[in-house]
Amino acid sequence: MRRSRAVTWDQLRVGILLLVGLAILAMGTFYIGQVGHVFGRRYELVTLMRSAEGLVPGAAVQLAGQNVGQVDRVEWLAPAQRARTGEAVAVWLAVNREVQEQIRADSKAEVRTQGLLGDRVIDIVPGSEGSPILEQGDTLAAAEPLDYQAILRKGSDAVTGLGDLAARLDSITRELLAGHGSLGRMLVDDSLYGNVSRLSLSLDRFLRRVNAGQGALGQLLTDSTLYGNLVGLTAGLDTLTSRVASGQGTLGRMVASDSLYAELHGAAARANELLGKLVRGEGSMGRAVVSDSLYEEVLKSLVDLNAMLADVREHPKKYIPPVKVF
């Protein structure tokens, strides 16, 4: 029968050290997988932010979603610099050198949430080809963060507005159901239904009469002679316009002949010349139009004529010669 050997303290200590080493190796492997290239060459960039909520040293730094470094430290800005830039904290980033060419002056650093636990990481947007490459200690611009408080305030205002709208709709509905106002009376007054029903019946009878060809409107819609008359009228108008366009008849000659235009143009020119002479006072008619003396003479003659007529009315015998018989 074999005898069991007792485990010595030295053997136990070696086993414990082996387990601790394996644990450290596993943790180191996991840590390297999370932050990447612990022993690789890195350079520092700084980004200024108003708030670094949730960011802690060791948080992942990503480039287009891929881990390229980690947050080295988070520092408060001096009051003077804070007043000048409007930012509150400086976040120093340790970034792998191998991606330095991707991070340029127009790149942006954005704080976002990753994973189910809500870990905060910094994601860098790669820059464009024409922008300068950022070097050691350069400032990386930060993307404008979302103002969640402002969004919540707007959402609260929207909810309040919806509540007020619902209250007003409820008040309007109550007024309608109570029969207040024109629309309310239309909804609750039974006489409206009767009026609409009678109107519908009257309209139905009217349409039946029209379809039956009764009345003037019915005859217009159902009498086939109307269509024939319209066709004949259209044909007559077409013939008339054709004759006018071809210069037939008096109206056609007036439309198609250039001589009429020439005669009208000549008459207009002569009338214009005559009016010009009248305005300039040429000739008897012109002097009569523009001369004030003619107006005064005519006015004087009218006054004398009125005086003579008045004297005739008062002394008619004066103007009747005596009549002698033999």
pLDDT recorded at residue 122: 86
User: DSSP labels for 290-306?
Assistant: H-HHHHHHHHHHHHHHH
pLDDT recorded at residue 205: 85
pLDDT recorded at residue 1: 46
How does DSSP classify residue 95?
E
How does DSSP classify residue 319?
G
Closest residue by Cα to residue 119 from 61, 39, 44, 50: 61
- The H-assigned helical ranges of 223-291 are 224-245, 249-256, 258-280, 283-290
3-state secondary structure of 6: coil
Is 0.85 topped by the overall pTM?
Answer: no
Give the C-alpha separation, 267 to 187, whole Å.
Answer: 74
10-residue averages of pLDDT along the chain (326 residues): 60 81 75 52 86 82 86 84 77 88 86 79 87 86 69 77 84 80 73 79 84 74 75 85 78 72 80 80 70 74 82 73 57
Parse the chain into domains and list their residue ranges: 7-36, 41-145, 150-188, 258-320
Distance set, CA 210 to CA 180, 202, 214, 285 (Å):
40, 12, 6, 68
Evaluate whether 89 touches 75 at the Cβ level (below 8 Å): yes
Closest residue by Cα to residue 73 from 54, 100, 86, 91: 91
Distance set, CA 323 to CA 65, 112, 173, 202 (Å):
141, 137, 107, 90
Q: What does the CA dihedral 116, 122, 126, 127 come to, rounded to 10 degrees?
A: 150
